[in-house]
Structure formats: C-alpha cells, structure tokens
Chain A
Amino acid sequence: MSTISYEEFKTACLEFLELSKKFGDSWKLRSDIQDKDGLCIHKVQHIKSKSLKELKNKTTCKIDRQLEEEEEEESSDPAEMETHNTTHFTTYDYHIVYSLSHSVPVLYFNAWHSSGQLLTLDDVWEGVDVTHREQILSNKWGSLTQTEHPLLGRPYFQLHPCNTAKLIAQVLPQPPCDAATLRTYLICWLSMFGPPVGLEIPLCYFAEQNTESGCVK
C-alpha cells in the first residue's frame, strides 16, 4: 500500500507546481480555499466540443430570445471576421486535493460548456473516451461520481480514491521519502487518474524525474 501524509502531499504539490512553471503548463495554487490549512492545485483546460446539445433547459431559450436585440448594424463590420457557427468548447477544471480517509491524492473536476452551463454526471459518463470506457463504466458509481469538493463545498466530479494506494504500490514499490520522490509519486498518480477524464501529462514531466536522484533504501 502506498499512501502519503498530508505534509508529504503538500510537498509533492509544490514541487509539481515548480515543474509546471518550468514547462509552461498552467497548474496553479487555488486561492479561494476557506480552510487556511487546505491545499488544492488546479488546472483549466479547454477542449473543442461537438455542437452543443441544445440546452435542455427550455426556459433559458425562451427568456434569451426575449432579450435578443433587433439591431443588425453590429453584424456588418468588415474588419470583423465572420464566425459562422459559434465554435463550442468545453472547459475542464481539474483539482488535486488530499483525501484524509485514504491518505492519497484525489482528482476532482468540473466541466462546463462554453455557454457556462455545467455538465451533469450523465454527460461526464458519456464523455469518457473509448480507451477508458470499459474500465470506468463497468464500475460507474465506484469510480467516477459526483460529490462535495472537500475544500470548496460544491458538487464536483470525483475519481474515487479507494484503489489509489494499491495501484500506486504496483508501480512504485518504494514509499516516497524526499521531495523528488514525492513529486514522482504525484506524477505517477496523475498519469493513472488523469487520462480517463481527459487530463494528459506531457512526457517532459517523466523525463525530469530520471535526472533526479532517488532516495537510497
């Protein structure tokens, strides 16, 4: 079993943030945590999405149409490029938080359409890509669910941490002991849990580790 303490988690995150900065990645420390001791790092990613399934909320459309202005002058500016159909994109906001009960990192995320409307749990299950579909969906409620973000108190999607320690132990048999190995731990964990929900880790993160010395056991 490969677990880490909260202090170790914090170290791992801060090390990871340094790497992120170095590689021009956009991981950042979350600044709106009420709990002074709470730490959460997050990254936002935008992905082009297929045509927006028309918002199921019919009332939205009704109200919006009422508010639509009649003016047409705006649309005939020659210096503005015509964007024919508004290109739709989905925003994913990934959070790395510590799980006290499992003593491992947990991946939470939220996703919303370019309109601002949040995705539902069903949308998210639908969106899991082909490679990971079986793995996730065969165990839907146990793997990818929606629950309260431990530090923000709002509903976020979560990859359940119950198997984390076991999985990591298979890949990293040695428990982490210093900043570099803790960082490795986090990267290893992220590389397992990120991809099923659309978060890829560039190879440069892994290349970095090999140049650092591991701990002597």
Chain B
Amino acid sequence: MSAREGVAAGMDHSGREPTILQSVPFSSAVDAGFWHHFTQLKLDVLQLSEQAVPVMGSYTNTDTPGLPPRLYVEYDALERRKTASRWSCHATGTLINTNTIEEFRNRSKQDLLKGSATTLWEAITSGQALQDPSVLASFLMFTFADLKKYHFYYWFAFPAFTYPKAMHKKPPQSFTDALTQKEIESLLASYTSQEVDFNQGFFSITKSDEEFTVHPLRDYPKLRTAADSKSNQEVYLGISDPSTLPSNPGWTLRNLLTLVAIRWSKQWQSYKVVCLRVRTRNGVQDASHSLVVEVDLSEEPESLIPSEMPPCLGWEKNERGKMGPRMVNLSANMDPTRLAESAVDLNLKLMRWRVAPQLNLGVVQQTHCLLLGAGTLGCAVARCLMGWGVRHITLVDSAKVSYSNPVRQNLFTFSDCQSGGRHKAVAAAEALLQIFPKMNSKGVVLSIPMPGHTVGESLLNQVKEDVSTLEQLIDEHDAIFLLMDSRESRWLPTVIGAAKQKLVLTAALGFDSFLVMRHGIREVGTEVSLPSTTAIPRNSIPGKMLGCYFCNDVVAPGNVSSTHDRTLDQQCTVTRPGVSYLAAGHVTELLAAILQHPDKGLAEASVKEQGNVKEGVLGPVPHSLRGFLGRHQLLTPASTSFDQCSGCCREVLKAYMEEGFEFLLKVFNSTAYLEEVSGLSRLHHCVDDSQVWELSDEEDME
C-alpha cells in the first residue's frame, strides 16, 4: 500500500493535505443462466451479427460488509422488459460479441472502451444523464462464445474518466459519526418512500434542520441555489453505494462527479456527497454504515473543463489480477451429450448407493463386450448392457434386417427393412448411438464359419479372413456373448475364446425355454492334466473346471446325421417373445455378477441349488441358468468340462493353437474330423448302451 492510500484509509480527522478520493471498482458477477439465454439469442437472432446488444445489469447497496461491489448480470439481463425493483439499481450495459477467438483477441480494447466511453460522455455533456442518471453506471461486456465447447469468454469494462480530480480534505465519515439517529431514520424514510424506478442509483438530498428529503438528481442546482441562501438548509449529492468499505465509495461516484464537474463546477467546487448503504436485518433497515464525504473539485479550475472527451479507463482485471478476460466452461451444464453422460452416471451411482454400496461400477463400464449375433438376443443384451453403463459394444452379424425383425429385435425400426434391409450389425450399432451419444459402438458384418459347412475353393480366402477378424475381435474384447441362432456357429468362438482364456457367455433360446451359461476358463498350454472329472468337490465346481456349451454333447455340432432332436437353437427359432428378454436379462446380470466376484470368471459354481459357495457383491455366480417358461421355473445347474468336448477339450484346443487355420478348415469341411480329434468318435465306439445318448443332451430337463 502506498503512503497515499494509507492516509486515505486513516482514522485521523484533523485537516491536512487533501487526498484523492479513491473508488472501489466493480466486480462482475454473471449468472450462469445468462449464458443459456445468450446462447439462445445468438443461435436464433444474432447469428453472425456483431452488432451491440443491450444488456441490463444491476447492483445493490444492501450488501453485507466483506463482499466486493458487484455489477450483476442476471439470467434475464437480455430481456427488454425488466422491471425495476427496490434495492436493485439499474446499470445500462452493452454487449459486443465476436465470432472467433482471434477477433476476440485482436480487437482493439482501447477502441472498444473509447466507444463505450463516448456514449457516456455524450450523455453527460448533453444533459441526458441528468434525465436518466442510470447511464452513469454503464458497462461494456465484450464476449466470445464457443458454442461447440460451451466456453464463454467475457471481459467487462466499467467506463470512467480521469477527469475530474476529486479530492477530499478529511476522510469519509460514517453515518454513525456524521448524523444523528433521527436524521438517519428521516433519510431512510424518504429514500424508501421514493417510487421504485430505474434511477435509484443517483439522487439529491436536502436537509432542513434534522429532516432529510430525497429528490431527483436533476433538481440539484435548483435546490442548492435555494439552500445557499438559508442557514439551516444543506444539499447533498447522493448515490446508492455498492461499496461497503469504511472509507471508499463505489465506482458509480466517479461518473457522477464527472457529470457534476462538467455541469456545475463553474458554480460550486465543493460538494457534500452521501454514499447510502442500507442493510436489512430482520426486516428492519439500517443505514448507519453509509458514508458522507466532502468532495473538493477546486484542483481542477473551471477553465480546464475539457472540451474533448478526457482519457477513459475501466477494463476489469481477471481473477489473477491481470488485464485479461475471464472464461467460464459450462459444458457440464449445457452440452447435451455431457448432460446425458452425467445423468446416466448419476443414476448408476444412485443405484449403487441404494442397493449395493460395494458395487464396483467402473469395472462393468470398462468391460468391452463383443456380441456375436445382432438379432433378438443381441439387441436385448446390448440394451441391458447399456443400462449398466457399458460403453464399448461391438455387434457381429452377417444378416440384414428383414420385415419380421423389428417387432422382436428392439434396436431396429421399420425403416431399417427398406431397400433390401440394412445390415443388422451396423444398424444395431447406430441405434445404440441414437440412444446414448457417448456409446463406443461398432457393427461388424461377418459370417462365422461353421463345422460341417464345407468351404469351397472360391470362398477360402474370405473364410480365412473372417476367421482372422473373429480372432482379432475376441482378442480386443473382455466379454464374448454367443447370441446366435444356430448351434454350429457357436463352435468357432467357443474354441477361440477358450484358447484366449476370455470370458465367454452363451444364451440360447427354445420355444418356451432358455439356456444362459458361462463357459469355464480353461488352463491352457500346461502339461498338467486336468483332474479327473470324478474328483470334483461335492458342493461346488471351480471356475476352471466348468463346462462350455458343448460339454454336454456327445456329438459334434453340425453333425447332420445326428438323429437327436434339438429343441434349442434351431435355425430361425421361433420362440415365445418373452423368452428372449428373460434370457437377455439373465445373461447380462450373469456378467454383472461375475464382474463383481473377486474371482471373476474363475468363480466357483454351486452344484446344489442353494449351495454354500464363495460369493461376490451381487451374490454367488451360477454356472448356468435354465428357464422353463411353461412351468415358470428357473434352475441353476452346474456341470464340469467334458474331456472329449468338441468345443473346449485339451486336444481340440491344442490342435487349434498349434495348427491354426489349417485345423479349423478341416473341421469346417468335416465334423467327423472334429469328433476324431476330440475323442468323441472313440467314445461312440466304446459305448454300447444307448441309454447314455438319451441323458446327455439339452432336451427338456426335469
């Protein structure tokens, strides 16, 4: 603090060197809602126009001490029809918006300020300001709105002049020291009885004996002339003072003094000024912290009344105290995509808080899900996963949307069927984006090669590529859902998934039944042989020994010579419509339960229906769920892996990992080969008893 400032704030009342009266600059306060309305205005009305827009600001003289004087721009500052209200003083503002950040940076701030100051100067010199003193509290808002990012740059200027030099011989006095209680009450009574209008910021006051009366500002010369001839009368200038400091009035006094100097300093050089501040406590007004200051303009002889506009100043400093604009990032409040994102996120957090505080939402949201099949199951599973907050979903399907699909496959609409039909995988992925814009969804059009479906010479390269694509997709995802409508198509991803030790979940539909299952996660590439299946613990099966979709079969998929009646997974299965939603809901929640289990995919499964097994936050994780809609029954059987399983036995995985596409091609061309490799054909030879065949399949089970 310089010596001068120290003196101005001092308590010494003896007459001494006159000091310059220092006013407190405004701090801008823009309501967050203002930017909403401004955005609307820009989009609807302004567009690229850079013409000045009128803005109505306000300030108040009712603050509690400690707050800086604020020029407040409310949410409705752009409304022309704002009404005045008591305790709120009007400030006339102009908003100038630029369309690019470069313009915002390069526009001459000097010129902008000068433009604003010129308007003010003209109002002062022409006398307009006497009729409408609220222009004395004018301001400029210089802005740039980045409507893609919802970043709003703004810079306020409160124009004022370096003229006049306002001095005071003694420091401002508070009302408590300068006036009697009766006088304060009288002044307050007169002030509050004024009609509420826009000109409450500036006024004149007459004092007759102990009675104060408030008058319009323009009456000042008349009043003073009359008062000068009487001994018991005094006249004051008055402002509704936004400052609360004990020795410094607010910024609005500067322009008032400029006006006074221009118009009346020929007649009078010293003025008594009342800086009125009113605090309302419990409905009672108190003005005792207002100030009275005697201002002396005699340092500026009247011959020096400028004919031209004096230098102007008034740009507001930013939060760091430097000459620069401010920026507010309102994307979280205005960007629709971000709004959707945070709403969905909040919803999940609320669910967690209410239902299971130990839920790890992050692990579910970050799981990359691969959905093989974008039909009835694929669409329903995708939607359920989205409900959990999963963001990465890839759908794979070779088919196109046909006219029967949209009623059962809930991501498609009638328009997807037109012109031959869009590819399901692509249409589904897009639908997910329509639902939630932040989805990372992708659709892959791919035909999954199947055992027993011979690959002709001409298709060889395509099939090779398809296999490679599938391998890569499985590699890139954490959870693989087998949601196809045929048995054979599940074989290849089962093998690849087992080899890569991925979490594979199966859902299959029957007419009025369904199967949901998690494949066991094999140990691969080790020499250690799996414990014999007869050695399973009584109550539970560890995750690495659980079976896969094919483990219960004694024939390889695609074996068209099989005489077994397949009730599940017929191609183009027609099922009771509710069944797909049941299965989709269960398979998604099975994933959720797995992810919340400390052992994840290796979680043990109970053999008994209500067994005692290690649980996760969402409870125990069954191996499989079988639902029978006819009897409204849900079972949770668990089974071990089969040593001769065509999908996951050691020999098959070994052959795949060692021979790769060569092996696969042989399988595609002949299921007999697969039965050979897995050992199933040996099994067939060994067994005479046809009873075994009837037990082993997924026909209606009791």
Interface, chain A (partner B; CB < 8 A)? 21-26, 28, 31-32, 44, 46, 48, 52, 57, 60, 63-72, 74-75, 77-89, 91, 93, 110, 112, 114-118, 120, 140-142, 145-148, 152, 154-155, 202-204
The 6 A-B residue pairs with the shortest CB-CB distance, nearest first, are: A116-B328, A204-B283, A68-B324, A141-B353, A23-B283, A81-B22
Contact A145 B321 (CB under 8 A): no
B76's contact among A31, A64, A69, A110, by CB below 8 Å, is which?
Answer: A31
Q: Which of chain B's residues has its CB closest to A31's CB?
A: B76
Is the CB of B685 closer than 8 A to any CB of chain A? no
Is the CB of B152 closer than 8 A to any CB of chain A? yes
Residues of B within 8 A of A146 (CB): 342, 346
**Once the chains are docked, how many angstroms separate the CA of A109 from the CA of B320?**
28
**Once the chains are docked, how many angstroms separate the CA of A24 from the CA of B232?**
33
Contact B70 A46 (CB under 8 A): yes
Contact A85 B315 (CB under 8 A): no
Instruction: Kindly identify, within residues 304 to 327 of chain B, every residue whose CB is under 8 Å from any CB belonging to chain A.
Output: 313, 315, 317-327
Q: Separation in Å of the A5 CB from the closest CB of chain B?
A: 28
Assuming the contacts A28-B85, A63-B327, A118-B332, asked whether A148 and B343 have C-beta atoms less than 8 A apart, the reply is: yes
Is the CB of B438 closer than 8 A to any CB of chain A? no
A155's contact among B25, B283, B315, B332, by CB below 8 Å, is which?
Answer: B332
Residues of B within 8 A of A67 (CB): 104-105, 153, 324-325
Interface size class on chain B is 35 or more
**Once the chains are docked, how many angstroms separate the CA of A112 from the CA of B192?**
32
Residues of A within 8 A of B350 (CB): 141, 145
Is the CB of B36 closer than 8 A to any CB of chain A? yes
Contact A114 B105 (CB under 8 A): no
Q: Separation in Å of the A43 CB from the closest CB of chain B?
A: 12
Residues of A within 8 A of B29 (CB): 46, 89, 91, 114
A64's contact among B285, B318, B342, by CB below 8 Å, is which?
Answer: B318
Contact string against A for B residues 1-29, beta-carbon threshold 8 Å, 1 for contact and 0 otherwise: 10011000000000000001111110101
Residues of B within 8 A of A22 (CB): 283
Contact string against A for B residues 98-123, beta-carbon threshold 8 Å, 1 for contact and 0 otherwise: 00000011000100000000000000
Contact B332 A69 (CB under 8 A): no
A154's contact among B27, B328, B333, by CB below 8 Å, is which?
Answer: B333
**Once the chains are docked, how many angstroms separate the CA of A48 from the CA of B66?**
7
Contact A64 B283 (CB under 8 A): no
**Once the chains are docked, how many angstroms separate the CA of A64 from the CA of B31?**
20
Contact A81 B282 (CB under 8 A): no
Residues of A within 8 A of B346 (CB): 145-147
Assuming the contacts A32-B76, A118-B333, A155-B339, asked whether A85 and B321 have C-beta atoms less than 8 A apart, the reply is: yes
Other than the known A81-B23, A148-B343, what 14 A-B pairs have Cβ atoms closer than 8 Å?
A: A21-B86, A24-B87, A44-B31, A46-B70, A66-B105, A70-B323, A72-B323, A79-B166, A81-B22, A88-B319, A116-B32, A117-B329, A141-B354, A202-B281
Residues of A within 8 A of B70 (CB): 46, 89
Q: Separation in Å of the A105 CB from the closest CB of chain B?
A: 21
Q: Determine which residue in A75, A81, A114, A115 has the highest number of CB atoms from chain B within 10 A of its CB, and name it.
A: A81
Contact string against A for B residues 524-540, beta-carbon threshold 8 Å, 1 for contact and 0 otherwise: 00000000000000000
Contact A78 B20 (CB under 8 A): yes
Is the CB of B215 closer than 8 A to any CB of chain A? no
Contact A65 B66 (CB under 8 A): no
Residues of B within 8 A of A26 (CB): 85, 87-88
